[in-house]
Structure 1
Amino acid sequence: MVVTGNDSEERKALQEYLSREFKMKDLGPLKYFLGIEVSRSNKGIFLSQRKYALDLLQETGMSGCQPIGTPVEECLKLCVEPNQVLADKGRYQRLVGRLMYSAHTRPDLAYALSIVSQFMHNPGEQHKNAVMRILRYLKSALGKGILFTKNSDHQSIEAYTDADWAGVVDDRRSTSGYFTFVGGNLVTWRSKKQNVVARSSAEVEFRGMTLGLYEALWLRLLLQDLGYLSRQPIQLFCDNKAACDIAHNPVQHDRTKHVEVHRFFINEKLDDKIMELPKIRSEDQLADILTKAVSSRMFSKF
């Protein structure tokens, strides 16, 4: 159990009460919990899963593999190929499951794992090779994780959203992704194939924007429950000019009727000053690495 709070007396009272009710031992400041390592410094709190990654490489016989700089080959498009050579389904599922747990502190693995997890019931050799590449990347970046810093000057909620239109070869569905930041610290992220086939890139971006906004609004409510109310509007960064223009334009056009619900939802939040849509260049869109296999230069930058 992890006990946390900003009142040391209250924490102590809770621990004493729990000690009376259960057999328990105080292990001191948090250092290791369910495979997640916690380090503290003047810069803040750092979370990583180095030991978990090392154990995973050892168990899979990949500890001596050649490391590589990205988890996904650039422009890779996986699909179910006719007459494909099947891989060991049980081993594939166990390995992907283990990798998914390592993604708790590794947003850089999110897109790669969202791709390989789509073939859990019918994995082929090309899918197994994609998983092996993730392990090779893991070896090159064992110590990566998330740093939470104190930042009293920067307290807003920010969300970066992006989408890749019709990027999935098998069913031509799209992939959307988002990163959310609170006080300049990354707190949640997601890379997911959309549930329906989109008719336009604007529709894809609107769905992606809506998902990112849902997450940001949930974080806003969570912060309110914790006694912190941000007066600043949510900053939602989307690099699709057409989607941003339609969101700001109250006139309903025939060409946007298929995204009407998403458009009204976003427009309502804009009118209520709950969110803003600042301009962002495509080369600064962090969520790009959650929707497609980018170059090693772009991946390293983000």
Structure 2
Amino acid sequence: MKETENDVTVVGVYVDDLILTGSSATLIDKFKHEMKKVFEMSDLGLLSYYLGIEVKQNSESITLCQSSYASKILEKAGMSDCNSCRIPMDPRCKLSKHDEEPPVDATTYRSIIGSLRYLVNTRPDLAYSVGVVSRYMESPTTSHMNAVKQILRYVKGTLDLGIVYKKNQECEALIGYSDSDLGGDTDDRKSTTGILFFLGESPITWVSQKQRIVALSSCEAEYIAATGGTCQGIWLTKIIASLRGNNQVKPILKIDNKSAISLANNPVHHERSKHIDTRFHFIRDAVKNGDVKIDYTRTEVQLADILTKPLGRQRFLELRDKIGVKQV
């Protein structure tokens, strides 16, 4: 990224593929001209495809999807003609590393998982289920592969889903959601953090990740998730500030656990929280310094819920729509 007094130019590079954007058409043309002096390059015009991601642009919106890439995953897995299903993971699904089921080919399993993980770049609705099956790549069994096949059947029925970023949305607020289950992993009883941030009406970053320590209560699990959300929000604030040339956007993090909010807002020593690792108290300083604002949200409108556990069909489809995954 290069900044001048009034303009900014951003270049994304992967090996020999470049994406170029900026606030000044003159500076963009100048960059192209200077690069062509040094390298043999082809200008492919307005971005339409990049590393498996399809981009549709018009005067009102930008759409991101991976329909072709998803179809290739199904073909690689031998499931191009499979029956589709409505959800990627059954709410009753309980996977374990020690299920004593017959083993499956680990190389094939890892290859499919790797492809699905890349698909999550435009499909936050897949983040949780793909994250769960990723935990069993060392010694996958039949039950793990069956869970992967359900994800693939869901992908089969949702090839046309993606994310739309519309012009003229109100983008003055950076709204985030953080959530956690409690002890959802059947092997080590660690919880899963879900983090989701919006700028305007569409998601710009999402995380579904198993926590590194065992939480002793839902308050602690939510507090750990909120600390991760705070770090993510501050990072996004800095990126947006560098792109916009100002620092006006401050993250608002929505949490559905009042005890975790009290713990973040009140730096007084608590007997019940004295065992929590120091690094998770980063959120207290961030709240005190005004780097992030913590708000309470009801559980039924906690959008990060879709990133922490397998949901029933009605709840899953409701949240999928609310987090901005649409037909494109």
Q: Are positions 1:239 and 2:256 aligned together?
A: yes
Given the two structures, how large is their TM-score scaled by the length of structure 1?
Answer: 0.95
- Kindly state the Cα deviation for residue 3 of structure 1 after the two structures are TM-superposed: 1.3
1:254 to 271, 283, 288: 271
Aligned 1:53-72 pairs, distance under 5 A: 53-72=70-89
Secondary structure in 2 aligned to 1:179?
A: strand
Separation of aligned partners in 2, 1:246 and 1:217: 19
Q: Are positions 1:2 and 2:19 aligned together?
A: yes
In structure 2, list runs of 5 or more residues that go unmatched: 1-17, 320-328
Question: Which residue matches 1:169?
Answer: 186
Question: Which residue matches 1:201?
Answer: 218
CA contact (8 A) 2:106 2:139 kept: yes
Aligned 1:1-302 pairs, distance under 5 A: 1-151=18-168, 153-259=170-276, 261=278, 264-302=281-319
Separation of aligned partners in 2, 1:299 and 1:227: 35
Q: Runs of 4 or more off by more than 6 Å in structure 1?
A: none
**Deviates most, 226-235 or 72-81:** 226-235
Secondary structure in 1 aligned to 2:70?
A: helix
**Deviates most, 268-277 or 64-73:** 268-277
Separation of aligned partners in 2, 1:151 and 1:272: 31
The letter of the residue matching 1:138 is V
1:65–1:8: structure 2 CA closer, same or farther, 3 Å change rule? Answer: same
Q: Once superposed, what is the RMSD of the aligned Cα atoms?
A: 1.6
Q: Can you list the C-alpha shifts for 1:128-171, whole angstroms capped at 9, x where unaligned?
A: 00111111000111011111222453311121101111110001
Provide the aligned length of Structure 1 versus Structure 2.
302
- Kindly state the Cα deviation for residue 118 of structure 1 after the two structures are TM-superposed: 0.4
Separation of aligned partners in 2, 1:135 and 1:227: 39
Separation of aligned partners in 2, 1:263 and 1:58: 43
Which is richer in strand? Answer: 2
The letter of the residue matching 1:129 is N
Question: Which residue matches 2:7?
Answer: none
The letter of the residue matching 1:34 is L
Question: What is the aligned-residue identity percentage?
Answer: 37
1:147–1:202: structure 2 CA closer, same or farther, 3 Å change rule? Answer: same
Separation of aligned partners in 2, 1:230 and 1:156: 12
1:87–1:263: structure 2 CA closer, same or farther, 3 Å change rule? Answer: closer
Secondary structure in 1 aligned to 2:64?
A: strand
1:28–1:232: structure 2 CA closer, same or farther, 3 Å change rule? Answer: closer
CA contact (8 A) 1:74 1:295 kept: yes
Separation of aligned partners in 2, 1:191 and 1:124: 23
